[in-house]
C-alpha cells in the first residue's frame, strides 16, 4: 500500500491545499495530512484547530486522515510507514522545495512528489491570506466557506482585543 504525506502549517487551509490533497488521494492508496505543531508568532489558529478544520474539509475523501506532527518530516514518515511526501509546487517555491526534497531523500530515501499548483491557486498562500484578512480584505474566494468564516471571526476578535488594550 502506497502512503503519502501532505505536510504543512495550513494556517488557514486554502483551496490550493485541498486541491493538492485531493489530487494526491487519487494517486496513492492513503494520504496523511500532517499539520505542523510549530506555532509562528503570526499563527491565526492553534494546531488543534487546524486539524479540526482540515478533518472537516477532508472527510469527503475516504483515504485521507489528518494528524499533528512535530520534528523532522522524514522521521514522521519513517514512524508512520509513509513512502512519499506530496507537495504543491508554485514557481517561486522550486529552488527551496527541490533542495528540501533532495535532503529528505538523502536522509531517509523518502521521495517527494511535486504537483504543480492549479493555476487559479498559484498565487495563494496561507501567509498572504492571513495578511489580506488582517488588513480587512475579502479572502472568501481563497478558502472553503466554513474556514473563511472562522478566519474572519478570528481576525475580528484579534482586532477587537487589540483596540481594547489601548
Q: What is the pTM (predicted TM-score) of this model?
A: 0.92
Domains of the chain: 3-122 (3.40.50.620)
DSSP one-letter string for the chain: --EEEEEE--TT--HHHHHHHHHHHHHSSEEEEEEE-PPPTT-SS-HHHHHHHHHHHHTT-TTEEEEEE-S-HHHHHHHTT--EEEEEE-GGGHHHHHHHHHHHHHHH--EEEEEEPPGGGTT--HHHHHHHHHTT---TTTS-HHHHHHHHHHHHHHHHHHHHT-
Of 37-41, 61-65, 95-99, least confident by mean pLDDT is 37-41
CA atoms within 13 A of residue 23's CA, in its CB half-sphere: 16
Question: What's the pLDDT at 121?
Answer: 95
Question: What's the pLDDT at 91?
Answer: 84
pLDDT digits (tens, 9 = 90+) for 5-58: 999 999 999 999 999 999 999 999 999 999 998 766 678 999 999 999 999 999
pLDDT digits (tens, 9 = 90+) for 121-147: 999 999 999 999 999 999 999 999 999
Question: What's the pLDDT at 41?
Answer: 62
CA distance 130 to 108: 34
- Residue 166, pLDDT > 50, answer no
Known catalytic residues are 17, 41, 90, 126
Question: What's the pLDDT at 162?
Answer: 53
Amino acid at each position: 500500500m502506497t502512503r503519502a504525506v501532505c505536510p504543512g502549517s495550513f494556517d488557514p487551509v486554502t483551496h490550493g491545499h485541498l486541491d493538492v490533497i485531493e489530487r494526491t488521494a487519487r494517486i496513492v492508496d492513503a494520504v496523511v495530512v500532517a499539520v505542523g505543531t510549530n506555532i509562528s508568532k503570526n499563527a491565526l489558529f492553534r494546531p488543534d484547530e487546524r486539524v479540526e478544520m482540515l478533518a472537516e474539509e477532508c472527510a469527503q475523501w475516504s483515504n485521507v486522515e489528518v494528524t499533528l506532527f512535530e520534528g523532522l518530516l522524514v522521521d514522521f514518515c519513517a514512524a508512520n510507514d509513509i513512502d512519499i511526501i506530496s507537495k504543491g509546487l508554485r514557481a517561486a517555491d522550486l529552488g527551496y522545495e527541490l533542495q528540501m526534497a533532495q535532503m529528505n531523500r538523502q536522509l531517509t530515501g523518502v521521495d517527494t512528489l511535486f504537483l504543480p499548483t492549479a493555476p487559479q491557486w498559484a498565487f495563494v498562500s496561507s501567509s498572504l491570506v492571513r495578511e489580506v484578512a488582517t488588513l480587512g480584505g475579502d479572502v472568501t474566494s481563497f478558502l472553503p466557506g466554513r474556514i473563511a468564516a472562522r478566519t474572519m471571526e478570528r481576525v475580528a476578535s484579534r482586532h477587537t482585543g487589540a483596540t481594547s488594550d489601548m
